[in-house]
Chain A
Amino acid sequence: MGISLDSLSPIAHKKRVFLLLASLFCAVVTTPLQAADTAPRTTTYTATATATATATATLSQADEPLQQPQLDQAQPITRADDDYYSVTVDDAYIELHTGPGRGYPIFHVVERGELIHLHKRRTNWIKLSDRWHKNSGWARRSDLNHTLGLDGAPLRFTDTGRDDYLTHHWESGVALGDFKGAESLTLNLGYRMTRNLSSEVRISQSTGQFSDNTLINAALVHQPFPHWRVSPFFMLGVGLINTQAHATLVQTEDTSDTAMLLGAGAYLYLGRRFVMRFEYNNHLILTSRKENEEINEWKLGLNVFY
C-alpha cells in the first residue's frame, strides 16, 4: 500500500491537472443543465417558495464545487489502514522527538508538503514516520493540527479537555475515605448513559480496628448540572457488605449483608482528563440482628475519564 501512495508523489502537480480536467468536464456537463434550468427559474419568481427551493437545489447540484468529487475518486480519503494514516504537513515544520514526552530530544523535522504516516498515539503524543518510513519519532498531538488528509481536508487533533468530559462515556478512579472511623479505599467504574445520568459499580475495602469490610455497590448517579465546573450529584444504590471480624476477637463471626446506599457529593473538574470527587455516603446495612446498622462515610477521590 505504501508504494501506491508514493506514486502520488507530485500531489500539487497532479491536483492542478485534475482541476483542469475536472473544470473542463464540468463546463461541458453543466452548460446544457443550466440551460434547462433557466426555464423553471424564470417561473419560480412568481411561483411558491418550495418551487424556488427545488430550483436552487438543482442549481447547486449542477454548480457543485468543481474540484472536490473528482479528487475524492482519484485519491483515497485519509487512510484508515491497519497500520497508519497518511497525511501531508501544512505547517512550516513539525519537530520529531525520540520519545513521547518533552524530555526526549528532537532529532528530526518534517516540512510543509511532506507526506507523513501516523502510527499510534500515547497520551498526547503521536508516533509518525516520514514518507519512506526511514525516520520515525513522536510529535505533540496539537502540533499536528496543520496537516491535511489525502483528500485535502484539514485534520483536527485536540487534546482531551473539559468538553470531552461529558461526551466520553467511561470514568474510573480511586477514593480514600473514612468509613465509621476506619480507613477505606474505593475503586469505581462509571458509565455515563446520558449527560445527567451515569451508572456506577464500585468496590471498597475498609480496615478498621475491630473488623474489615468489603463493600460492593451498584449505583445510579444523577448530575443535575453536568456542565458546571463544580457539579453536584446524587446517588442511589444497592450492594453487599462483607464484614470480617479480626482474628483476635473470638466471639464475632463473618457476616454478609445487603446494604442500601444513599449518597451526595460534587465533581470538580481539574483539567485534562481528571475530575476530583468529594462525596458523602449513607450506608444502611440490613443486618440479621434486631436493628439495622447505619454507617456514614466521607470520601475524596480522583477520577479519570476516557
Chain B
Amino acid sequence: METWLKRLLLTVALSALSLIANAADTQTRSVLDKIITPNLERRDPVSPNIDTEDFELGFYAGIINVEDFGSNTVTGLRLAYHISEDFFAEANYAQSTLQETSFERLSGSTQLLSDEQRELNYYNLSLGYNLLPGEIFIGKDWSFNSAIYLLAGVGNTNFADDDYFTYNAGIGLRLLATDWLALHFDVRSHIYEHELLGEAQTVFNLESHAGVTFFF
C-alpha cells in the first residue's frame, strides 16, 4: 500500500532535485563562460588593393624582309600583358607595303600583284619568356633594368587578297628607361606557306624593329 506512495514521493523528489541541479549547472556555466571566453576582437587581415601595372602598350617601326618582295619598312602596335615575372603574352598588329619582285623589275611592264595586293598586314599572339633579366650600364652614372626575352606565337598574315596562317618566333631586348617606359629591340621570323608563285613554298620573313612601350 505504502510502496506506491513512497515511489511517487521519491520520483517527485528526484525530478525536483535534478531540476535544481540543472539550474545550478547553467548558472555556473554562464559564470564560467564570462571568465573563459576572451573578449578579444577578431582581426581579419586586410588585402590592400594596390594599383597594378601589368599591361604594356606601344608601337614599333622597323624593316621586314618578305621573301621575293624585298625589304620593306614596317610599323606596328604592341600590347603585352605580364602574367608573371617570367611570362608575358603579347599581341602585335603591323602593316607594310611590298616592293616589286626582281622578275617584275627585269621584265618591265609585267605586274604580279596590284598596288592594293601589295599592302601586307599581320597580327599575332605570342607567349614570351624573360630569359635574361638584369641591368645594363651606360656610361658611369646610368644603369637600366633590362630583359632579353624569347617569343613564339601564332597569327595571320594578309596580303595578295589572302590570309596565311603564320607562326612567329623571335628574340628581343626590353630596356626600361623608367618604371613605366620601355624601349624594345626585336628580331622576329614570320613563317608561313603560300602558293603565290605557282607552287607551295614555306617562307621565313625576318623582321627587325625598335619600339617604345608604356606600362599601365
Residues of A within 8 A of B (CB): 44-46, 52, 56, 59-60, 63-65, 68, 78, 80, 85, 87, 98-105, 118-127, 149, 153-158, 174, 176, 182-183, 185, 187, 205-207, 212, 244, 246-248, 272-274, 302, 304
Besides A46-B23, A205-B163, 9 other CB < 8 A contacts?
A: A64-B39, A65-B39, A80-B48, A99-B133, A123-B83, A158-B47, A185-B165, A247-B160, A272-B84
A-binding segment of B51-59, B183-191, B206-214: B51-59
Contact (Cβ within 8 A) B163 A103: no
**A207-B164 in contact given A65-B40, A125-B85 (Cβ < 8 Å):** yes
Query: Which of A64, A125, A155, A274 is in CB contact (< 8 Å) with B46?
Result: A155
Which 8 residue pairs are nearest across A and B when measured between Cβ atoms? A103-B133, A156-B45, A99-B145, A207-B165, A101-B85, A183-B165, A247-B161, A212-B163
Query: Which of B34, B83, B125, B160 is in CB contact (< 8 Å) with A174?
Result: B125
B10 to chain A minimum Cβ distance, whole angstroms, is 26
A246 to B195, CA, bound (A): 11
Contact (Cβ within 8 A) A272 B83: yes
Query: Which of A65, A122, A158, A272 is in CB contact (< 8 Å) with B82?
Result: A122
How many interface residues does chain B have, given as a range?
35 or more
A119 to B44, CA, bound (A): 23
A234 to B134, CA, bound (A): 45
A157 to B48, CA, bound (A): 8
Contact (Cβ within 8 A) B125 A45: no
A60 to B34, CA, bound (A): 10
Query: Which of A105, A124, A182, A248 is in CB contact (< 8 Å) with B84?
Result: A124
What are the residues of chain B within 8 A of A87 when measuring CB–CB? 48
A89 to chain B minimum Cβ distance, whole angstroms, is 14
Contact (Cβ within 8 A) B26 A154: no
A212 to B192, CA, bound (A): 15
- Residue B67 at the chain A interface, CB threshold 8 Å: no
A135 to chain B minimum Cβ distance, whole angstroms, is 14
What are the residues of chain B within 8 A of A185 when measuring CB–CB? 125, 154-156, 165
Nearest CB to that of A145 among chain B residues? Answer: B45
**A155-B45 in contact given A45-B27, A304-B89 (Cβ < 8 Å):** yes
A12 to B53, CA, bound (A): 34
B38 to chain A minimum Cβ distance, whole angstroms, is 10
- Residue B110 at the chain A interface, CB threshold 8 Å: no
A103 to B135, CA, bound (A): 9
- Residue B93 at the chain A interface, CB threshold 8 Å: no
A290 to chain B minimum Cβ distance, whole angstroms, is 28
B81 to chain A minimum Cβ distance, whole angstroms, is 7
Nearest CB to that of A85 among chain B residues? Answer: B48
- Residue B176 at the chain A interface, CB threshold 8 Å: yes
Query: Which of B50, B52, B83 is in CB contact (< 8 Å) with A273?
Result: B83
Nearest CB to that of B27 among chain A residues? Answer: A45
**A122-B134 in contact given A65-B39, A176-B154 (Cβ < 8 Å):** no
Q: Which of B134-180 contact A (CB under 8 A)?
A: 134-135, 143, 145, 147, 154-156, 160-165, 176, 179
Contact (Cβ within 8 A) B83 A101: no
- Residue B43 at the chain A interface, CB threshold 8 Å: yes
Contact (Cβ within 8 A) B145 A122: no
What are the residues of chain A within 8 A of B82 when measuring CB–CB? 122-123
What are the residues of chain B within 8 A of A156 when measuring CB–CB? 45-47
**A104-B215 in contact given A65-B40, A85-B48, A153-B45 (Cβ < 8 Å):** no
Query: Which of A102, A105, A176 is in CB contact (< 8 Å) with B85?
Result: A102
Query: Which of B23, B27, B43, B165 is in CB contact (< 8 Å) with A154?
Result: B43
Nearest CB to that of B166 among chain A residues? Answer: A207
A205 to B165, CA, bound (A): 9
A158 to B132, CA, bound (A): 26
Contact (Cβ within 8 A) B134 A153: no
What are the residues of chain B within 8 A of A212 when measuring CB–CB? 162-163
Query: Which of B23, B30, B85, B154 is in CB contact (< 8 Å) with A52?
Result: B30
What are the residues of chain A within 8 A of B52 when measuring CB–CB? 120-122
Contact (Cβ within 8 A) A157 B163: no
What are the residues of chain A within 8 A of B156 when measuring CB–CB? 185, 205, 207
Contact (Cβ within 8 A) B134 A104: yes
Nearest CB to that of B167 among chain A residues? Answer: A183
Contact (Cβ within 8 A) B83 A104: no
What are the residues of chain A within 8 A of B27 when measuring CB–CB? 45
The 20 sampled A-B contact pairs (Cβ below 8 Å) are A45-B26, A46-B23, A78-B48, A80-B48, A80-B49, A101-B86, A101-B130, A103-B130, A103-B147, A104-B134, A119-B50, A121-B51, A122-B54, A123-B83, A125-B85, A156-B45, A157-B47, A157-B48, A272-B83, A304-B89
Query: Which of B45, B53, B132, B195 is in CB contact (< 8 Å) with A120?
Result: B53
